Amino acid sequence: MRNSALKCSLAVLCVMGALLSGCGALVEPQTPAQLIEVTPRDGARDVTAGSPLRVTATEGRLEKVQVTRRSRGAGREVPGSISPDGRTWRPAEQARELVLGSKYRVDVSALDDEGRRAARHTTFTTKAQPRRFIGFFTPEHRQTVGTGMILSIRFNRPITDREAVERGIRVSASPQVKVAPHWFGATRLDFRPEERWVPGTRVTLDLRLRGVRGAPDVYGVQSKRVHFTVGRDQHSVVDARSHTMTVRQNGEIVSQVPVTTGSEKNPTYTGDMVVSEKFEVTRMNARTVGFGGEYDIDDVPHAMRLTESGTFLHGNYWAPKRTFGRENVSHGCIGLRDKKGGDPFSPAGTFFRNSLIGDVVTVRNSGERVVAPDNGLSGWNMPWSAWTAGSALT
């Protein structure tokens, strides 16, 4: 009896199998992951900005697609549209490029060919936002400067790919003259011609650094053009031994001024220095330049910076009048006679009024070493061959 029942069951299964074979096998509905394809894949990390963002229905049609980008705690929907045939969703043109440093969430519903609904949720994250570098330049846009101006760019991050950054910067001059770059460390790039600028020269700086790789994961963001104009030529020579400063404009002596320079204990640097900043009045505190509490004067008049280490040419109202032209008593600065509050007609006030950022002041006979080329805009103290050798593209 049991054998007969078993044979009957097998016969039924065989008949059912034959029927199924003749009419086609039953197909199970697709899973959401099979029906709905999302690119980038679910859980992807470090996705690049240029990667495609796409949602596709492998069969049937998309019903609804919502893509949300979250960055720094704020969420924003990514605009996009489903194709007329319902098979594909793509982002709008302005949203094609993925935003770095973001997490994307994709929520999709779709209908298969049988009208059955499926929903899928995926997420992916893009690469971290790269660090950005910018260059702070001097002189300023449209500024009129002296013939000794050195164009200096300071970067906010260390540059390791100096060749790429240097290629992204162009300095040109009219009348034309060769202008060469020189790197001072990883964050500073200066430009100058072999000799001082010709008066009337127009200099243009093109910063084409947007997207330029300055170091691993560090990219430039600037695309900027600036220019400055070279004014009249003024060159002042300070003789520390004779305590005088001779001022020439366009080669002609216009004044000879008594000065006081650095003492024997704190002599003034020798060599060519360039006026890089001008202050009607400023504070000078000995502690900020490596001295003790020897002085702290909060109203120094007519001050012009010559080095980053603290050398100024400035008005001096506290030294006796007889000091100027006779003694060197400063901590390394060059002092000109002035009055408290600043007298515009004093030797210091007159020189201040007639000076430009970029004017050269040369110091001789102080007994001190030559100022370093990177101490302020002192690159004129470097031979041209050494200067040009400081280019990353040499």
Active site residues: 314, 333
- Give the whole-angstrom CA distance, residue 233 versus residue 147: 5
Burial category of 183 from C-beta neighbours within 10 Å (exposed 0-12, middle 13-18, buried 19 and up): middle
- Give the whole-angstrom CA distance, residue 196 versus residue 52: 53
Q: How many residues does the chain have?
A: 394
Which of 341, 333, 270 is CA-nearest to residue 304?
A: 333
Which of 219, 222, 253 is CA-nearest to residue 237?
A: 253
What is the DSSP code (8-state) at residue 289? G
Query: What is the Cα gyration radius of the chain?
Result: 37
Q: How far is CA 119 from CA 19, 41, 67, 75, 85, in A?
A: 34, 16, 14, 21, 19
SS3 121: strand
Amino acid at 282: T
| Cβ–Cβ under 8 Å, residues 381 and 370 | yes
Number of Cβ within a 10 Å radius of residue 95: 17
**Residue position matching structure tokens 């319902």:** 86
Cis bond upstream, residue 199 (ω within 30): no
| Cβ–Cβ under 8 Å, residues 100 and 129 | yes
Task: Mention every residue, 6+ apart, whose C-beta is less than 8 A from residue 68.
Answer: 75, 76, 77, 78, 104, 105, 107
What is the DSSP code (8-state) at residue 344? T
